[in-house]
Amino acid sequence: MLNLETLLLELSNAQGPSGFESEVRQIVRKELKPYVTSMETDGVGSLIGLKTGPPNSPKIMLSAHMDEVGLLVRYVTPDGFIKFQTLGGWLDQAIIGQRWQIMTSKGGVLGITGIKTPHVMSADERGKIFKGEGLFIDVGAKDKSDAEDRLGIKPGDPIAPCAKAEKLNGSDFILGKAWDDRAGLAVMIGVMDSIKDKDLPFSVYAVATVQEEIGLRGAHTSSYAVHPDIGLNLESGVAGDYPSISQYEAQEKLGAGPAIFLHDSSMLPNLNLRDFVIETAKEIDLPLQFNVLSGYGQDGAEMQKAFEGTPAINITVPTRYLHSHNSLINLKDVESAIKLVETCILKLDPAVVEGLKNFD
Ligand SMILES: [Zn+2]
């Protein structure tokens, strides 16, 4: 029996900046194993699990990305401080004053992004934003050779945020890093668990992609590896339910069920698939939210554009404070996202899939 809460905590705690997803891949591989007939990786590291259907039957691709936003060592200063490159979309303000783990060949090295003390600042300086170029990580090294030789820090080493996942104050909220997109991975694993005993008239591909945060790269290659008929991307959504964000900017709320994106800057959903998901949610009385975003990119866009084009949609778990050390999801939303995707999948057969692929 899958323990969803335990799985979520394990996935959130795993370190996997873009391009360095190995720890996450090991968890997903272990979790998917009982549910799939085969598993392989593509040439950039996306993990492709297959629950095989009859020969020449339709291919349904679920995707969720393993990578999280992180940093990468640029160089070590003569004083032993670490200068870095960002991996993925960080606000400079979210980087400072945090704990990080530099993933070296000798193991994890704890560091902090130091911030200048306000004691020495003018009133003018206190109101300023600290720019990325001036930021650094302090690992307590004596100098450059101490950082490099003793601690094993090298240019190109990945750096992951340090933040331990936990349930928040007895609520259904779970606090942690990397819900983007470990929440989606948990949904994917949960769906594969829920359909494990079903003999389906199509194949289901559970694809854990790499390098989403730096340009949907793993989704690109894996979509070509699978050549799906239908694509369901599973993501962290954008909640707009806290002070400082407006409903205009994002419409999802935590605890109000999964959402579908009706617009983001990478994709419009297939309209048949959009209506199919909305109908399915209605049939099982499951609250479904909608989000129209000006920005955001997600892996569904790569499925949609592969080969001759694939009907695709992005289904999300509402998330607060994305791309930071501390983001929030609601366990109930993860459960209902699994229920929604499971029910959608179980309604499919080759004729339904053909219908979804049809344009009038
Ligand atoms: Zn994401």
Percent of the chain scored above 70 by pLDDT? 100
Provide mean pLDDT across the span 42-59: 97
At residue 55, the pLDDT reads 96
**Which residues carry out catalysis?**
212
Locate the domains of the chain by residue range. Answer: 4-68+177-356, 70-161
Q: Give distance in angstroms: CA of 264 to centre of ligand 1.
A: 12
- pLDDT, tens digit, for every residue of 268-300? 999 999 999 999 999 999 999 999 999 999 999
Q: Give distance in angstroms: CA of 293 to centre of ligand 1.
A: 14
The DSSP call for residue 134 is: G
Hey, do 4-68+177-356 and 70-161 end up sharing a CATH topology, with the first three levels equal?
no
Provide mean pLDDT across the span 102-106: 97
Closest Cα to residue 316, out of 276, 357, 257?
257
Q: Give distance in angstroms: CA of 179 to centre of ligand 1.
A: 8
- pLDDT, tens digit, for every residue of 171-210? 999 999 999 999 999 999 999 999 999 999 999 999 999 9
Q: Is the pLDDT at 227 greater than 90, yes or no?
A: yes
4-68+177-356 has which CATH code?
3.40.630.10
| pTM for the structure as a whole | 0.97
What three-state secondary structure class fits 133?
helix
Beta-carbon-side half-sphere exposure of residue 147 (alpha carbons within 13 Å): 26
- The superfamily in CATH containing domain 70-161 is Peptidase M42, domain 2 (2.40.30.40)
At residue 255, the pLDDT reads 97
Q: Give distance in angstroms: CA of 322 to centre of ligand 1.
A: 9
Helices 4-13, 331-347: crossing angle, 10 deg rounding: 110
Q: Give distance in angstroms: CA of 236 to centre of ligand 1.
A: 6
Q: What per-residue string of b and e applies to 117-144 under the rule 16 or more CB within 10 Å gives b? A: eeeeeeeeeeeeebeeeebbbebebeeb
Q: Give distance in angstroms: CA of 181 to centre of ligand 1.
A: 5
Q: Give distance in angstroms: CA of 117 to centre of ligand 1.
A: 34
- pLDDT, tens digit, for every residue of 126-138? 888 888 889 999 9
- pLDDT, tens digit, for every residue of 301-314? 999 999 999 999 99
Q: Is the pLDDT at 336 greater than 90, yes or no?
A: yes
Q: Is the pLDDT at 49 greater than 90, yes or no?
A: yes
- Return residues with CB closer than 5 A to ligand 1 (ion): 180-181
Q: Give distance in angstroms: CA of 211 to centre of ligand 1.
A: 10
